[in-house]
Structure 1
Amino acid sequence: MTIETIPFPLPPSADSSKFRAFGREVKGVDPGALQATQFQEIEKLLYKHSALLFRNVDLTPEQQYTLVKAFDPTCESYGHGNNKTGKTKESILHPYLKTIPRVPQVQLIGNGIVHDHEGIPEAQLKHASHRTFHKSQVSEEDETSGVTRFYRWHMDAALYDLPPPKVTALYGISVPEGDKQICRYDDGTGDELEVPLGTTAFVSGKTMFDILPPELKSLAVRSRVKYAPHPFIWMAPAHAKSSGLGLETEGLETPLDNLPHWEKSKIQIYPVLWKNPITGDLHLQVHPCGACELFVDPLPRTEDGSPQGGLYPEGAHLVDLKTVRNLIYDMQRPGIAPSLVYPHDWHEKDLMLFHNRGVMHSVVGHFKPGKPRVFHQCNLAASDEPLGPSIQDILRWA
């Protein structure tokens, strides 16, 4: 059977000119039982379009793991380590992820109480709410009327010891119905976005880079980000910005001396831009909450030996946390504008497969009592590190 693809159904808020390549619904194939030739086509489609949607899929945890593993066959560990998220209570992720016992690479996420699910007798699932993480919150009155926020913009990655996963698979098993909500940025811009209840919001890292002005493109192509050791424990006491894009700088992070034992060799430093292995495009991929330092390479020299103009022409090693966060925010905030966000309208048995090294995403919204939500999530710590810009890329954009 021929694999057919159609573009994602974009909301009225989206700028369709920025979504020409982003997102395809795939028809005519069972993602849980792909033949080798079918998988090869799916792999190319994913890296080309960043996200693939399969509707009305029956998928076991074993099949979900097998599908994700096909993109990186030597991998065996969940992106944060098998069975680790449930045991590390200090981590900000601990309340939200429950490991499927027989397939530890697959996590149970959602909202409400679940009984006898895939070997789990009972689980109290918790939908991530901005009320537990943001410095400020929307009023109870506004929340009751349907106002909400992005929780946290991120890519799936441990950011310490384990390389970032290449692909994430999200599978909707029980999806609550309800009225749409208004996601407010509350950052002084007046930006807001109508979203389906319990949406997962996606933005393209390629678009995030493409729309930057020249001076920020130059900064991005020359920069590397250093992440804190055990970043999800480090960031746990801190508060997020109202847009969900990074943290406020209040000095609340866990001191490095108070973190669990860590090794300098396991700290991760990655390029700001990650290169797509199929298209060669550059994707702006930074987890803003875990970043703690920036390394900026100097600008290429002109014929007389002097650096060109631009930000940090002589290069820099930036360790002031507020400065680092502000620069990352300046690079990323344009890319989460309402017209550039795809808020997926989940239906039961939807499978969303996305290029985790090419997109950013966020949990959104809140549920009233009695709205159970059950999803399976799978990603695998990769066998290699992300590729950064080539010398040609640096000469072109610096």
Structure 2
Amino acid sequence: MEGMKTMSGTSLAIPIETYAARRQRCRVEASARSFAGLIVFSRDPDRAGNGLYLANHRPIAGSHPSMYDQRGRGYCAIIIPVDQDETLLVTSPYYEPDVTMDRVEVDTNLPRGLARILASYGLDSGERWGLVGEEFLPVLLYRDIQTALPFCSFYFADDVLWSMRTIKDEMEQQILRDAAKIADAGAATAMRAYRAGRTEQDVVNDIDSTLRSLGATNTSLTCQSGVYRSGEPLIRPFASDRILELGDMAQLEIRGSYRGYGFDICRSAVIGPPNDTQRHMFETVDRMLDAIIAKAAPGVRAEELQHEIDEIAHVEGFDGYQSMHFGGPSTYCGHGLGVSNDEPPVLFTGDRTILRPGMYITPEPGLYRHPEGGLRLEDDILITPEGCENLNSSQRWWWSED
């Protein structure tokens, strides 16, 4: 298919025409707000989603303090005027050849490059521009942009991209289903790998080998075992040389990407038969996840999913080990997923986003800092017109026979 290749001949998961349509939608949104256009930022490595979504580009050089004449290293900007062709501005000449935009400019000083490009459009004097990237654009860089373009005015418009990225089209949904199958294969490997006498790192290595053999990239895996490590929502290192022992509970986070889209599940286990308290914990969190999946549907607000599991934790006597609202350490019970591993909505009190068909979320209830340790269970679900579709079918928790 012609639209599935870049100028370099590289095959893409998403057609070039789709990237162009996304940028055109940005023009429509910018015009509706009386902007001259949008300037969309991305940052390596944790906020690369905007660039991937609009241009199949990830800034290649990691961020470091701006110094000398360099500004914005590790960032990129996509300039989308309402009525002219768009430009990708990168801060390093070393970028991937499979970007989906024809015009790419390089400048090690991002504000200077922006000023030059806007001047070439004739849109650097008196125009109103929408900026996308408020949550991660540093004050230094924003100040330098204002200095380089003193006659322009800027207004943050992050909601434009978030509203686009949260709803997945049919092609994206199929990629996500395939990605979820890879995650399930990783979970099956975890069941075989989590055994007494092995190390956390051994377990992670086995899972990673399975995921990569099936085409996964950007894997991020955890094996947090024992009372202290399993009891934390997240702890570094993600996998250690700790030797697994009888009675150890563990969280096994399985994350990565497939064809540019993320998967993110968590499974939990114990070595040897669980005691009564451990079994109660496993069964409670399993019920929490089932409750979220039963509740998730169009018209439901994101925060309602948190409320659903707060009640279960309260009834089962786990108030202090779950939500912050009850003195626990958990900051939320899930989030959106897409070209980035963490996207809106956030499943927590205060996020009143209304779920809509095409949203892809990953609920992840857990119990933490309990005297027995902790656990988390997580599936990836797609909101459908009728409710939701659970894309995962692997066993969520188990105990080994060691």
The TM-score range, normalised by the shorter chain, is under 0.3
Higher RCO structure, 1 or 2 (CA under 8 Å, sep 6+) = 1
TM-score, normalised relative to structure 2:
0.22
